[in-house]
Amino acid sequence: MGAHNGADQVPAIGAEKTVGGEKGSLKELLHHRHFLIAVIAMFFYNGAQVGTWSYFIQYVQDYTHQPEKLAGYFLSGTLVAFGLGRFSATYLMQFVRPNVLMAPTL
């Protein structure tokens, strides 16, 4: 696996040239091991996320004895915090390499 040092330049839009007008196929894409691993990882990640948030209100009611309405507010707060975290991390990746940015979460 190679490391990205940030020195690479992003090509201009439309700078790519295709040979013979073919842009690739699904069959070719499925031969890339890292792509398949990423798809499987996203499947399980989304499943865990949906499963956790689906049970969140019931969990708050059962273990903290809070009313359903307050549990719903807590759920909304977690969704907002998740979204803010995603956008702020994306912004910070302009200045900090992603592997350094994610290191505290490991």
What does the pLDDT look like over 24-59, one tens digit per residue? Answer: 788 888 888 898 998 999 999 999 999 999 999 999
Question: What are the phi and psi torsion angles at 32 (to 5°)?
Answer: -90, 110
Are 57 and 75 in contact by the 8 Å Cβ rule? The answer is yes
- What does the pLDDT read at residue 22? 62
What does the pLDDT look like over 50-63, one tens digit per residue? Answer: 999 999 999 999 99
- Higher pLDDT residue, 26 or 105? 26
Q: Among the listed ranges 11-15, 55-59, 75-79, 87-91, which one has the minimum average pLDDT value? A: 11-15
Please, what is the average pLDDT of the chain? Answer: 84
**How far is 44 from 75, CA to CA, in rounded Å?**
21
- What does the pLDDT read at residue 103? 81
Token digits for 103? 């290191």
Residue with tokens 């013979």: 20
8: left (phi over 0), alpha (psi -120 to 50) or beta: beta
What residues contact 75, with CB distance under 8 A and at least 6 apart?
53, 56, 57, 60
